[in-house]
A and B are shown apart, each in its own frame.
Chain A
Amino acid sequence: MALDTGGADATRRWIEAAHPTHPSLIDQAHVTDERFGFVNVPNAVWIDEQGVIVRPAHAAHVRQSARRDMEVPEGLGRIGEMLTEVKKIRTDVDLYLEAIRDWAANGSASRFALSPDEVIARSDPRPPAHAEAAACFELGQGLWRDGEHDAAVGWFRRAHELYPENWTYKRQAWTFATTAPGEPSDLIQGPNDDYEGNWLDDVRAVGAEHYYEPFEP
């Protein structure tokens, strides 16, 4: 499921290249941010045969990026600095794959399947500021889709202030600010005139090792 304000236009090339054999949906309004508590990508939830969530939103890495192991060449400038931070990001692909396979085989008996009370307790806190951030971000998205880009930026900024730990709000908005018209989404998301933050500086501020929460059995 693509979490993408840009909708089909922004996601088509990726979906078509992947040739998915599973349903591949587009969440243009970031509804699943609100409904499941996604705060970054890749994030996932597990849902059992009865429609009950057995794992709340969590970072879901099933493959280790080759960039994690590469030597960062000198002279790459900001991209090199980003790659240096990427190498510090914590993921545990082996544990996550083990967990998925165990749940697939053992269902509710899996040690990775949580009870309903645990699922709720382990879902992210939602203080009023986070809920208000969701409302602000949605106003921003609607205005952006209507071509009211200056007005949208103000609401995106407010969402970032209210919920700075939500990377979906930041990365989505930064991409709008730094992607040239007609080009694929800019993944550098560098300094720009619309927002105080940018990917590299914000990741450094929190520490790249905190960019994703570790997967807790």
Chain B
Amino acid sequence: MILSELIVDGDEFAARTGWAIKPEGACSGDICVPLPAEATVAGGRLDVVVLAERLAMPLVQDQVHERWALGPATVSGRALSSAEAPELTLPDLDGNPFSLSSLDGQKVLLVAWASW
């Protein structure tokens, strides 16, 4: 996820990374990684550096443009840390948001294609 500062809102972090902040820590599926107290800063927001360290997420900075990118967690060593499908909301062609979870109760074949 792209960041302009190293503090992030928990809901925003969860929506982009799939790691929800719960009392027991940062959780994805049935995996929860405990977070130290210093992970939470003023206003209940989260310290990105602490999150990155705990979840083994790379934090890359473009100094010229003053922005960071937080990469995916590597705690499981695999692309998937859980078989539970991540919640994901993407727009359709008209910009209307569509949530993957709206298809719960149906089998889903999610196919990636590209114009390139």
Give the B-binding residues of A (Cβ under 8 A). Answer: 1-4, 6, 8, 10-12, 14-16, 23-28, 31-32, 34-38, 41-54, 56-57, 60, 100, 103-104, 107, 116-117, 119-121, 123-128, 130-136, 138-139, 142-143, 148, 151, 155, 168, 171-172, 174-175, 184-187, 189
User: In the complex where A23-B98, A26-B92, A27-B90 touch, is A123 in contact with B112 (Cβ < 8 A)?
Assistant: no
| Contact in complex: B71, A4 (CB < 8 Å) | no
B95 touches A8 (CB 8 A): yes
B45: Cβ under 8 A from any A Cβ: no
Q: Is the CB of A139 within 8 A of B114?
A: no
Inter-subunit contact B72/A2 (CB<8 Å): no
By a beta-carbon cutoff of 8 Å, the part of chain B in contact with chain A is 1-2, 16, 18, 56-60, 62, 64-65, 67, 69-74, 76-86, 88, 90-93, 95, 98, 100-101, 103-116
**CB pair A121 B78 closer than 8 Å:** yes
List the 7 closest pairs (A to B, CB-CB), nearest first.
Answer: A37-B79, A135-B71, A116-B83, A123-B80, A175-B116, A135-B69, A47-B108
Q: Which residues of A contact B67 (CB under 8 A)?
A: 139, 142
- Whether the Cβ atoms of B101 and A51 lie closer than 8 Å is yes
A35-B86, A47-B107, A142-B2 as given contacts; A187 in contact with B79, CB under 8 Å: no
